[in-house]
Amino acid sequence: MTAPHKNVPPGLLFEPFKIKTVEALPFSSQREREQWIQDVHYNVFALNSAQVMIDLLTDSGTSAMSDLQWADMMKADEAYAGSRTFLELQATARELTGMPEILPVHQGRAAEHLLFSSLLSGGETIPSNGLFDTTLANIQDCGATGINLPCAEALDPFAENPFKGNIDLEQLEKLLAQKDSKIPLVVMTITNNTGGGQPVSYQNLEAVSKLCKKHKKFFVLDACRFAENSYFIKSREAGFANLSPREIASKCFALCDAVTFSGKKDALVNIGGLLCVRDAALGDRLKNRMLVVEGFPTYGGLAAYSMAAMNQGLHEVLDEKYLEYRLRTISWIVERLAAAGVPVLRPAGGHAVYLEASNFFPHIDRENLPGIALTTALYTEGGIRGCELGTVAFGYRDSHGKHVLPHLDLVRLAIPRRVYTEAHMGYVVNCLVDMHRRRDDFVGFEFLEEFPVLRHFRSKFRKLGS
Ligand code: F0G
């Protein structure tokens, strides 16, 4: 059910909000865009946002905030210590997560940095269902190694399985049981951004929690899309239909020892995050460290007005009508693309549409970067900005200079929360269907300048034949 009443035309997305403030879309011509993308060597990260019509680069920090969030920002208490706004946010986060220690931080990676630099000393291995790139970078920054153990279903981009974000429990158990392994903690990411925004089941989280208890490991939840994951559990997992997303979220949080949280996703804010921990002694250590790298523990890295917006966002995001609309938006796009034969990752994830670029352009060799061909074509044809999360982002050179390619060659179209309408999404679908029909017209790329880490952000490319 997407509609709140029976007279909504079938298939239509019924946005559960009305619009109070608007921002003009920056229109441009294809000819202008062809010049602009050539000027930045075909890396969409180097474009000005004024050159982008529909910006699907990320769902992070791009939400439209509500009237209540803006109103609470005006009422925020900017006291350096003991701010009323912090106490309100602390109460909300404690009630939701069940964790007594609540540390406000400027964004998710600050929570990761604080936690990992306090728990890791180097040489450890950190298993996960799927580490986001900043999470992995923070683990590596401490001298440790991250290892992704996605479930087998996740390897087939088109298999319809309800919980493709799950970890492979057998592999995890095997790893944890190894005597000489140095594994202090396990990270579960909900939803699994790296694996296509796919949800993790409660059952899987519970099993990980049991394994962590058995092997005395610390269990961390990277929960920046916890509300979307909760609604997936409600709608797909047996036994959860009658629980509210809030109740489901609380059950998930009860399984772990710490939560790293980027508020830029499911707290519907433009900046902000939280680090929540159960153990008071660890909380104390983290607060001491926080004083050095973020700020006083009652504001962390944030203005009180950002904490106020995050507090209100944490309430709004758990509204069932909102979550139903939010997940329906993604599946609405995926259904239309799949029906037209466009290779799109299935089933629909929670925050983004993922295209399989090497299937989209089968005539472009993977070394010739089909994902860059796709992000470039989407931009020049439609003014739409997506993000390559395939060969460029996750591929690397081994010690012999050989290019190691990731399993999937994905391009992500992340959908900002409460920002675009159904007409905008229909336009994105039509652009893709049209491009797919003319797929043989598009050519591959090669590196002009290749950066060694997180290559997709700053590398430059050359169009073949130009
Ligand atoms: N964990 C996950 C699963 C994320 O997706 C992100 C950010 C972070 C942690 C880090 O949070 O940006 O607040 O420091 N993801 C963004 C994205 C950047 O586009 O997917 P942050």
Domains of the chain: 30-59+320-463 (3.90.1150.10), 67-316 (3.40.640.10)
Question: For position 381, what pLDDT does the model report?
Answer: 97
Q: Rounded to an integer, what distance in angstroms lies between the CA atom of residue 1 and that of residue 11? A: 10
Q: Rounded to an integer, what distance in angstroms lies between the CA atom of residue 86 and that of residue 198? A: 32
- 83-90 long-range contacts, Cβ below 8 Å, gap at least 24? 83/298, 83/299, 83/304, 83/307, 85/304, 85/305, 85/307, 85/308, 85/311, 86/298, 86/299, 86/304, 86/307, 87/298, 88/308, 88/311, 89/307, 89/308, 89/310, 89/311
- What is the number of the ligand 1 atom nearest to the C-alpha of 192? 3
- Pocket test of ligand 1: the residue of 45, 134, 271 to mutate, having most ligand atoms within 8 Å of its CB, is 134
Any atom of ligand 1 within 6 Å of the Cβ of 108 = yes
CA angle 222, 256, 83 (to 5 degrees): 70
Question: For position 2, what pLDDT does the model report?
Answer: 47
Those residues with Cβ within 8 angstroms of residue 420's Cβ, 6 or more apart along the chain or in another chain: 54
Any atom of ligand 1 within 6 Å of the Cβ of 191 = no
CA of 219 relative to ligand 1 center, distance in Å: 19
CA of 222 relative to ligand 1 center, distance in Å: 9
Of 410, 130, 386, 418, the C-alpha closest to 267 is: 418
- Pocket test of ligand 1: the residue of 188, 264, 306, 411 to mutate, having most ligand atoms within 8 Å of its CB, is 264
Any atom of ligand 1 within 6 Å of the Cβ of 107 = yes
Any atom of ligand 1 within 6 Å of the Cβ of 62 = no
Residue 34 three-state SS: helix
- Pocket test of ligand 1: the residue of 224, 229, 274, 275 to mutate, having most ligand atoms within 8 Å of its CB, is 224
DSSP state of 125: E
Of 263, 433, 298, 251, the C-alpha closest to 360 is: 433
Six-digit token string for 235: 């709608």
Whether the CB-CB separation of 268 and 317 falls below 8 Å is answered with: yes
Residue 225 CB coordination number (10 Å): 27
Residues of the chain with pLDDT under 50: 1-2
Those residues with Cβ within 8 angstroms of residue 288's Cβ, 6 or more apart along the chain or in another chain: none
Question: For position 353, what pLDDT does the model report?
Answer: 98
Any atom of ligand 1 within 6 Å of the Cβ of 135 = yes
Q: Rounded to an integer, what distance in angstroms lies between the CA atom of residue 458 and that of residue 438? A: 29
Q: Rounded to an integer, what distance in angstroms lies between the CA atom of residue 335 and that of residue 331? A: 6
Question: For position 5, what pLDDT does the model report?
Answer: 63
Any atom of ligand 1 within 6 Å of the Cβ of 193 = yes
Question: For position 4, what pLDDT does the model report?
Answer: 57
Any atom of ligand 1 within 6 Å of the Cβ of 128 = no
Question: For position 206, what pLDDT does the model report?
Answer: 98
pTM for this predicted structure: 0.95
Strand (E) or helix (H) holding 86? helix 84-97
